[in-house]
Amino acid sequence: MLQEIAYWTYYFCHKNHFLRQNGEEVLIAPLFFALNLYVNALSVIHLIEFWIGIHIMELLPWGETFDLLSYIVAFCVISPFVYFGYKSYFHPHKLSELIKKYERKQVYRKRWGKFFYALYVIITYCLFFFVVETFKI
């Protein structure tokens, strides 16, 4: 399933003319892929915090918006997701195989893939905001 999400993330980043102009789709696609995984993990962490009653995220030294430590902590938290996505799906060799695999799919299969990818992204963020607002700690 993550392979499907990785392909459609790259596909939509590659379709963006501004990203493709400078070759940035190869950089942005793993970041957006990692961000979606991170938001899903945060939803699960928030539910666990609610049920256990422990504030896990408050143990991290989050600070002001322009605090250097906050940027370092954010980088350390999201970097495993970026590394996983890059090594698993966005490495040039694996990405070319993934593109070849999905180019052979039927037109209807591609349409359904685009639809479900858009649905996945929308549900990811809607569910995250629902969980945060509903289960307040």
The pTM of the whole model exceeds 0.85? no
The one-character DSSP state at 92 is H
Average pLDDT along the chain: 87
pLDDT band for position 74 (cuts 50, 70, 90): confident
Range of the domain at 45: 2-134
Query: Taking the mean position of all CA atoms in its chain, how far away is CA 130?
Result: 18
**Residues near 124 by beta carbon (within 8 Å), at least 6 away in sequence:** 36, 39, 40
Q: Which residues contact 10 (CB under 8 A, 6 or more apart)?
A: 25, 29, 89, 90, 95, 98, 99
Cβ count near 135 (within 10 Å): 13
> With 80 as the cut, is the pLDDT of residue 59 above it?
no
In this prediction, residue 111 carries a pLDDT of 94
Counted domains in the chain: 1
Is the model more confident about 38 or about 56? 38
Exposed / middle / buried, residue 14 (Cβ in 10 Å: 0-12, 13-18, 19+): middle
User: For position 121, what pLDDT does the model report?
Assistant: 95
> In Å, how far from its chain's centre is CA 71?
18
- Residues 13-36: tens digit of each pLDDT: 888 888 778 777 788 889 999 999
Q: Kindly indicate the confidence band of residue 122, based on its pLDDT and cuts at 50, 70 and 90.
A: very high
